[in-house]
Structure 1
């Protein structure tokens, strides 16, 4: 299957927004070492690229996209049919849709069809050991299926059972519906695909990045993603119960918390590529808030926070249309010299600008 080379949109990339970001999701997903990272984003080595499409769902901010592989178009095709089958191109199997690699599917795609009760058959997973996309494709597919299963467990209502996808290496018969494996059988299937436990896939990787100056943050327009919008539908419940889900690397979902020690530097707000972090001001108060619906779990805010007080909850409510959550709030103070309003964690007589002027004057004139 020939598709256009993936296009890189740098302003969506966390490495562009924060010069010292250590994000490497796209590089880790690429089986062919075709992605080169830099402090202003990434670039594609077309001589190495094999059009597997694995970089597209790996990036939570949507920095990678392809003109000829659009998961949202597959979804539009699927919802018009009573059942839907997808095959990977290297397997040579026939299906309703042929994609470069099954690992290029997202958990939101699989979960949405399950919620709509559209039987989904994925063809070609048995070909992974002979495929040039190899273990990376199988690993990403296993993570996708595990994340979709967690979405089902969190958002499924008692009277509305979701369908689970069926993996097969033979084309389904006409009118055949997708089987619903038990949770135990499903996890054994994931282990067969990946060769190791599902728990290892979902384990968060923690590495404390070094502090960075403000100049390392680049401005850019806010941009959401189609997958995050799709998850709004997937995570919605009509029974009013919370959609409690655990953090998962394959899901662009996260809930932030803030420990004591915030310096009000606003670096997290300026680095956020989706506008999930917001500064809310009125004449008497300054607040840092997070809009959960816009967060895609890119984690750049955790990297840019120099006092390391931002963190992510291990389990949280992913229901859509929640009001912004205030993480930090301070009463504004007024400078005795310039009468500017400013915020500080402790009472101060002068604003930072006037205090800097005094320090500079003292250094020059003693």
Structure 2
């Protein structure tokens, strides 16, 4: 027992964790979801008859799978994005970098691939009181260079949204001369002055919201995918006039026909809690589109084909 515990403590924690009970292929055998498999640039994920397998030897921790999984089955270890954003808000020109790179950064995440989704970038843009630079200058020489294209595509899709209010809030820096990095931190007085100028009470409030703990999930528990959890945590800080565009772009539309008999089978199979039982027995389930990851499990599961999922205008970058 002591030897086993020592080995566990000395073994580095893997950057990606798989919650099998939330994988669509594990929850419902006919599900043919391959999102994470198709997005993994290292072929570290593979479908099996019993769900999904993660080859830790092949995984390089790019975290692109987090933005691909619609059911929250994949998570990143030591991501701590809430804490990182809080620390970054102390700098006038904050720089976020990668833990595996020696390039300059005020704070680092395991890999910037965790941000390669428009919903994640929108949440960060709404949270930060000043423009944030993502340091990608060392990515070209990294085994995880594949994250750059999805990051660029995600930001471009945001900037193309009608009335996007956060233009210039996020900067993807791929060339070292374009990086504006200042190592010196702010004094206490400068820190609060910066907050007053930038209305940065946002950062303080959202840290607690983003870092809120949740109970350990099981097969019956519901879990939001990485990108949606961040977007909803930042929702109070998104400008009210811009929220209709966000809903149209990211929240799927669930349509329930008159063929529904209220069996609630779709409620049970839904991994995110987007469907809940109606108050009256036999009635169609209640729908919360903001919790829907558009996985389609409910539609596949329904024998009457009474529920259909119309995906949102924006999807995870391919």
User: Which has the larger helix fraction?
Assistant: 2
User: Which structure has the bigger radius of gyration?
Assistant: 1
1: distance between equivalents of 2:294 and 2:85?
A: 23
170, 175, 182: which is aligned to 1:174?
182
1:3–1:51 CA contact under 8 A, matched in 2: no
1: distance between equivalents of 2:136 and 2:239?
A: 36
The SS at the match of 1:121 is: strand
2: distance between equivalents of 1:255 and 1:86?
A: 34
Is the alpha carbon distance of 1:247 and 1:310 closer, same or farther for their aligned partners in structure 2, counting shifts above 3 Å? farther
Q: What number of residue pairs does the alignment pair up?
A: 262
Alpha-carbon shift at residue 118 of structure 1 (Å): 2.2
The SS at the match of 1:69 is: coil
Asked if 1:111 corresponds to 2:122, the answer is: yes
Match of 1:256 in 2: 254
* TM-score, structure 1 normalization: 0.60
Match of 1:358 in 2: none
Asked if 1:123 corresponds to 2:121, the answer is: no
What CA deviation, in whole Å up to 9, does each residue of 1:215-273 have, x standing for no partner?
Answer: xxx9522223564343235455665675134776xx5x322123454454433222101
User: Which has the larger strand fraction?
Assistant: 1
Alpha-carbon shift at residue 119 of structure 1 (Å): 0.8
Alpha-carbon shift at residue 95 of structure 1 (Å): 0.8
Is the alpha carbon distance of 1:78 and 1:112 closer, same or farther for their aligned partners in structure 2, counting shifts above 3 Å? farther
69, 85, 89: which is aligned to 2:95?
85
Match of 1:275 in 2: 273
2: distance between equivalents of 1:154 and 1:15?
A: 38
2:94–2:132 CA contact under 8 A, matched in 1: yes
Match of 1:193 in 2: none
Match of 1:224 in 2: 224
2:103–2:138 CA contact under 8 A, matched in 1: no
What CA deviation, in whole Å up to 9, does each residue of 1:301-350 have, x standing for no partner?
Answer: 2332344443334668xxxxxxxxxxxxxxxxxxxxxxxxxxxxxxxxxx
Q: CA RMSD in A?
A: 3.4
Alpha-carbon shift at residue 89 of structure 1 (Å): 5.0
2: distance between equivalents of 1:145 and 1:3?
A: 30
2: distance between equivalents of 1:33 and 1:57?
A: 16
275, 279, 297: which is aligned to 1:300?
297
Is the alpha carbon distance of 1:149 and 1:264 closer, same or farther for their aligned partners in structure 2, counting shifts above 3 Å? same
The higher relative CO (CA closer than 8 Å, separation ≥ 6) is in 2
What CA deviation, in whole Å up to 9, does each residue of 1:135-182 have, x standing for no partner?
Answer: 3x23431343245436x64674xxxx554311222231439xxxxxxx
* TM-score, structure 2 normalization: 0.68
2:98–2:108 CA contact under 8 A, matched in 1: yes
